[in-house]
């Protein structure tokens, strides 16, 4: 005989097991027992089959494996289609994600139950270059209201939902992966200041260069991902305008950190001569104008950002004893206008304490002073702005790594020599973070209390 068919397993009393019931025929021995349900002594089903669904245990039961036992065939249901774009994940599923073409966001379930789990695996081994972002969908990840990131090649992370306090966390069976979470930094990004205009022989001289744009956050509120490299560009100062060829000062170069770009300052202008327009150039802060009817200061905060990265340059003065030129704008104050007797004072920059003592407070992004026709000087803006010159003096350059605009120069009366303008000052990028958030040694590193400060005086990379 090859099998035993049993309708019920009814009871056990001591060492006696009763199989079947009155009127039934029981055939023994055999190697198969057939039943739709096997019940415990309390009448609850231990194993139950309905159609093709087999249920272990009943409501309220705990199904466990004995120590040393193992189970196969259980676990997540894996999606056979490799994901190559953003998608919403479902509990109980596993997904292969291919980020070869770029980073991909996987949005976690919005209303999971405690114990729900899912797994995400880097299919092509490109997550370190193009990360997989775990969108939290308004729930916490590892106890924080921040999205997670899989940023290791071949990373494979299983997460389980634990409730509202901790949200999604790595489960014990995570394989070769981690969930990286963003942390916040403070930054200061100052662009290069612009060059000022010079003067040909006998001319009234040029306007001051505009300061480089300045963008910063006063608190740690800009998110970066651990281990991620962020390119740093520190803008150079703009070249001086030539008096001989009647050219305006050259704008400064942009400074960049991640998605934050500060625009170079606008160049200062010469006096109006023939077809030459004496208007200052636009930029992070606008350049100062040369004297004359067309002597309007350059527009600041170009391109427009909020809060503003700079201010306008000053207008040129009308003809008079000194024919004053306009000054370059600074971050916190517009450039002064020239008058019949003096050149405009450079617009003041902004004092920033991002580096802490003993390095700060230091002012950045001051505008260059406008030139005057007679002897004397005009003040450059606090924050590296160069002073404007009056014959026989020449202007001074913008301060290095301050983003200051160059001060204008004057040709002076009579057969005076050609005077070139002055260079703008180079920019700077500074990033401040909690020391406990990472181990980065990017740039020049200093510390202040519990914070680490990374200062970049030239191009580089900040690795979060």
Residues in the chain, total:
464
Q: Residues 435-456: pLDDT tens digits?
A: 988 888 999 999 999 999 999 9
Q: What is the pLDDT of residue 1?
A: 40
CB-neighbour burial class of residue 232 (10 A; exposed 0-12, middle 13-18, buried 19+): buried
**Integer angstrom CA distances of residue 329 from 62, 255, 312, 318, 420:** 73, 18, 5, 19, 20
Q: Domain residue spans in the chain?
A: 4-56, 77-181, 182-464
Q: Which residues pair with 132 in a beta bridge?
A: 104, 150
Q: Just give the CATH number of 77-181.
A: 2.60.120.640
**CA–CA distance, 25 with 85 (Å, rounded to integer):** 62
Q: Is the alpha carbon torsion for 118, 124, 128, 133 positive or negative?
A: negative
CA atoms within 13 A on the CB side of 80: 0
Map tokens 């300052």 to a residue: 265
Number of Cβ atoms within 10 Å of the Cβ of 301: 22
Number of Cβ atoms within 10 Å of the Cβ of 107: 15
Q: Residues 265-314: pLDDT tens digits?
A: 999 998 766 555 789 999 999 999 988 766 899 999 999 999 999 999 99
Number of Cβ atoms within 10 Å of the Cβ of 67: 5
Distant-in-sequence, close-in-space partners of 300: CB < 8 Å, separation ≥ 6: 210, 266, 282, 283, 284, 285, 286, 308, 309, 310, 311, 312, 313, 329, 334
What pTM does this model have? 0.70
| pLDDT in single tens digits along all 464 residues of the chain | 444 444 444 445 555 555 555 555 545 455 556 667 677 767 677 777 776 666 776 666 666 655 555 444 456 899 999 999 999 999 999 999 999 999 999 999 999 999 999 999 999 999 988 889 898 999 999 888 888 888 888 889 999 999 999 999 987 554 556 677 778 999 999 999 999 988 777 777 789 999 999 999 999 999 888 878 999 999 999 999 876 666 889 999 999 999 999 999 999 998 766 555 789 999 999 999 988 766 899 999 999 999 999 999 999 988 776 788 999 999 999 999 998 888 999 999 999 989 987 787 899 999 999 998 877 789 999 999 999 988 777 889 999 999 999 999 887 666 556 778 899 999 999 999 999 888 889 999 999 999 999 999 999 999 98
Distant-in-sequence, close-in-space partners of 449: CB < 8 Å, separation ≥ 6: 356
Q: What is the DSSP-derived secondary structure letter of residue 457?
A: S
Question: Is 363 within 8 Å of 350 (Cβ atoms)?
Answer: yes
Q: What is the pLDDT of residue 8?
A: 46
């Amino acid at each position: 005989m090859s099998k035993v068919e049993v309708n019920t397993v009814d009871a056990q009393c001591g060492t006696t097991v009763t199989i079947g019931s009155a009127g039934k025929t029981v055939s023994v021995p055999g190697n198969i027992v057939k039943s739709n349900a096997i019940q415990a002594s309390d009448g609850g089903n231990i194993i139950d089959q309905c159609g093709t669904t087999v249920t272990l245990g009943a409501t309220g039961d705990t199904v466990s494996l004995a120590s040393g036992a193992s189970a196969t065939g259980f676990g997540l249901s894996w999606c056979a289609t490799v994901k190559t774009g953003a998608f919403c994940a479902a509990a109980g599923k596993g997904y292969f994600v291919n980020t070869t073409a770029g980073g991909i966001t996987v949005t976690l379930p919005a209303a999971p139950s405690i114990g729900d789990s899912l797994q995400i695996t880097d299919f092509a081994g490109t997550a370190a270059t193009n990360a997989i972002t775990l969108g939290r969908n308004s729930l916490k990840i590892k106890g924080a209201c921040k999205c997670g990131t899989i940023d290791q090649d071949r990373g494979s992370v299983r997460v389980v939902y634990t409730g509202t306090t901790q949200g999604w966390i790595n489960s014990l069976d995570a394989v070769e992966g981690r969930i990286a979470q963003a942390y916040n930094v403070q930054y200061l990004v100052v662009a290069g200041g612009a060059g000022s205009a010079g003067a040909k022989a006998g001319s009234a001289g040029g306007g001051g260069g505009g300061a480089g744009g300045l963008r910063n956050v006063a608190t740690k509120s800009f998110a970066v991902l651990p281990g991620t490299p962020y390119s740093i560009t520190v803008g150079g100062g703009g070249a001086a305008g030539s008096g001989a060829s009647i050219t305006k000062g050259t704008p400064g170069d942009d400074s960049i950190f991640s998605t934050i770009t500060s625009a170079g300052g606008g160049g200062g202008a010469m006096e109006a001569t023939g077809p030459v327009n004496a208007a200052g150039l636009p930029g992070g802060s606008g350049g100062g104008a040369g004297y004359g009817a067309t002597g309007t200061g350059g527009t600041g905060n170009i391109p427009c950002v909020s809060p503003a990265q700079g201010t306008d340059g000053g207008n040129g003065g009308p003809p008079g004893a000194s024919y004053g030129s306009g000054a370059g704008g600074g971050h916190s104050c517009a450039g002064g206008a020239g008058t019949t007797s003096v050149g405009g004072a450079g617009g003041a920059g902004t004092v920033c304490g991002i580096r802490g003592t003993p390095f700060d407070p230091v002012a950045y992004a001051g505008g260059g002073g406008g030139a005057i026709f007679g002897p004397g000087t005009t003040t450059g803006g606090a924050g590296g702005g160069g002073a404007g010159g009056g014959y026989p003096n020449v202007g001074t350059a913008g301060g290095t790594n301050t983003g200051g605009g160059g001060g204008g120069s004057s040709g002076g009366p009579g057969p005076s020599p050609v005077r070139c303008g002055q260079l703008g000052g180079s920019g700077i990028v500074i990033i401040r973070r909690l020391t406990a958030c990472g181990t980065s040694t990017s740039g020049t590193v200093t510390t202040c209390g519990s914070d680490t400060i990374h200062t970049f005086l030239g191009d580089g990379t900040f690795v979060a």
